[in-house]
Chains A and B, each alone.
Chain A
Amino acid sequence: DARVTQTPRHKVTEMGQEVTMRCQPILGHNTVFWYRQTMMQGLELLAYFRNRAPLDDSGMPKDRFSAEMPDATLATLKIQPSEPRDSAVYFCASEGGQTTGELFFGEGSRLTVL
């Protein structure tokens, strides 16, 4: 069945290392979102794309985070350099067609930065 796929599911890295998270949206969905979930802040919108074009990335720390959609089947979120405060679960979600507002979430990438 159709689902959003995220890799890696878990990542442990050391401060200063580059981290890349990947997302494969549901085929045919034209809007892709990146959210970050922490205990303190809850779910925060980092960025989103429509038809591969960035619409809003105001939630991302620009100096270290970058998000791209190289093609319609792949979205990436990169952190360079990573810091301990980036430890969180990062969710990708996609939306499209006639299901207005129904975001389909991946299972998340749990990042731990030591």
Chain B
Amino acid sequence: AQSVTQLGSHVSVSEGALVLLRCNYSSSVPPYLFWYVQYPNQGLQLLLKYTSAATLVKGINGFEAEFKKSETSFHLTKPSAHMSDAAEYFCAVSLYQAGTALIFGKGTTLSVSS
């Protein structure tokens, strides 16, 4: 069975500071991995995805994530936080094929202070 664990339900950073949101996965087959963002009262929006190509994946809004098989991790980073980054972030895993349901982590709420 596949699963993801997001370490830390809440992360607080200052504007301009590094953002690091942690995600570890469990999968018996090579996984697809994703980060989604959810702004208040909205649906989820894809930030980036790993599909077995480059291990360092760049996404929208300056976010990137690195797939580390040895650590079974897919942590999300951004060098400099902006106030508009405040949202809930979800890591997700799926099987290596299209049209398969995503299994989401519990989410991490990112707060950004000025």
Which residues of chain A have a CB within 8 Å of any CB of chain B? 4, 30-31, 33, 35, 42-43, 45, 48, 50, 56, 91, 93, 95-96, 100-103, 105-108
Q: Does B106 contact A (CB under 8 A)?
A: yes
Whether the Cβ atoms of A33 and B101 lie closer than 8 Å is yes
Range of interface residues on B (Cβ < 8 Å)? 20 to 34
B41 contacts across to A, CB distance below 8 A:
107
Whether the Cβ atoms of B98 and A101 lie closer than 8 Å is yes
The chain A residue sitting closest to B41, CB to CB, is: A107
How many contacts A-B (CB < 8 Å)? Answer: 56
Main secondary structure of the interface of B (DSSP, over half): loop
B107 contacts across to A, CB distance below 8 A:
42-43
B70-114 CB mask vs A (1 if < 8 Å, else 0) is 000000000000000000001000100111111111110000000
Minimum C-beta distance from B44 to chain A (A)? 5
Main secondary structure of the interface of A (DSSP, over half): strand
Whether the Cβ atoms of A107 and B43 lie closer than 8 Å is yes
B49 contacts across to A, CB distance below 8 A:
101-102
B106 contacts across to A, CB distance below 8 A:
42
10 contacts between A and B (CB under 8 A): A35-B104, A43-B107, A45-B102, A91-B44, A93-B44, A100-B32, A100-B51, A101-B51, A105-B45, A107-B41
